[in-house]
Amino acid sequence: MPRAKERDGVFQRTDRSGWWVSYIDASGKRRKEKVVAHTRTQALNALNGIRTREQREQILGVREVSEISTADLLARYKRYQKTRLRSTTFERLDGILETLKGALPARARDITRKVVADFVSARAETVAPGTIQKEVTVLKHALKLAVEWGLLHENVAQGAKLPRVPEGRTRYLTPLELKAILDTAEAWMKAPIALSAFTGMRRGELLGLRWLDADVPNRRLYLRDTKNGSLRVLVLNELAVRVLASLPVGAPSDPVLAGVDPELLSVYTKRLFVRLGILDASFHSLRHTAASWMAMQGVDLYAVGQLLGHKTPRMTQRYAHLSPQYMAGAVGKLDGVFAGVMPENLPGEAALVPVESPHFEGVLENDAKLLN
């Protein structure tokens, strides 16, 4: 395209079809956007209209609200998020956007604080608080971007009152429960269940693991498909090494747990738990099992958080009550505060008897169980 024609603010992109315009908005920022036009002349007319609008807004100090539809705004938000979210998270975004599109007004400008409040109230009658929180979080982000894009004046979802989300469950399995599960599970389920319990890996991390990421001789796994989007190096214990050694090794790019469907794994694990009388537990409880038993065996909470890939220490605090060292250190502070308060002789004084914690020895009796 000739250079002279680029200077009039109208251009075409090599990677996308249609006509685009470039202009300075009322705040002094350079903007580029696609316009509805079939010819250069039509694009120039659209650009002149945009420049007139921006000049009027600069003089009056008031920006006109866009007439963009809610559906178009959410579609633009989806395009924006495509390269910014993990593939699994992006797939779940579709359902949330469809819910929002069906419940909100046709025009984005008609979304008010009352509309958001009514949406929350209506959803609270049919779905869990955690679901509402995820949906409103997406709405907040979409409206925040709409303000940044100059489409809306304010983010009306900001500050919306949401139902209280209960504390995350920390249901963990006992060694006997885990043994019963591994003895009873179908062959294809044994390895993912065992690896999750012995390492604390998330389901997505497990199923995203490929043989090129498994350094079994050096007891290392390189987790690339993590929730936080950053590489995590996981040190393996003996039980996890035995599980990996029992699996058929594929090509470097092949998944370690080939052919395991994530949804089926969760559903079948839940059914197995119910059949064995293990209530209020799911596949994710296996991750809690690893974390809980590490804490109960005295592993430092910081180390637990690092092994699990927690982004903040707050996420690890749910296991603090299980850590004898953590709790002993906390209550032990009172010994110094109240030193000298206790009388020398107390009637019936007796020594405390330590209680040993159970462990997972014997849970994985032989490697063949993972394959049979």
Do 53 and 180 belong together in one domain? no
129-151 mean pLDDT = 92
Would you say the pTM of this structure is higher than 0.75? no
**Residue type for 194, please?**
A
Do 54 and 83 belong together in one domain? no
85 Cβ neighbours under 8 A, 6+ residues apart: 93
Domain that holds residue 13: 3-60
CA distances from 150 to 33, 153, 227, 322 (A): 12, 7, 31, 50
Do 12 and 142 belong together in one domain? no
Q: If we measure between CA atoms, which residue out of 220, 226, 183 comes closest to residue 207? A: 226
Do 222 and 366 belong together in one domain? yes
Q: If we measure between CA atoms, which residue out of 176, 92, 84, 178 comes closest to residue 134? A: 92
Question: Total domain count for the chain?
Answer: 3
| Single residue among 40, 60, 80 that ends a domain in this structure | 60
Do 78 and 131 belong together in one domain? yes
- Does the CA dihedral 121-126-129-131 come out positive or negative? negative
List the alpha helices (DSSP H) in the chain.
3-6, 40-60, 70-82, 87-103, 113-124, 129-148, 175-184, 187-199, 203-207, 238-245, 262-275, 284-296, 301-308, 324-337
Q: Give pLDDT tens digits for 283-316.
A: 999 999 999 999 888 888 888 888 888 877 778 8
Q: If we measure between CA atoms, which residue out of 167, 170, 192, 194 comes closest to residue 292? A: 170
Q: Specify the CATH number for the domain of residue 266.
A: 1.10.443.10
81-97 mean pLDDT = 85
Q: What are 118's two structure tokens? A: 């009514």
Please tell me the least confidently modeled range out of 34-48, 85-99, 236-250.
85-99
340-367 mean pLDDT = 57
- Tell me if 131 sits within 8 A of 170, measured CB to CB: no
Q: Give pLDDT tens digits for 2-23.
A: 443 456 899 998 888 899 999 9
Do 254 and 112 belong together in one domain? no
Residue 241 lies in a domain: yes
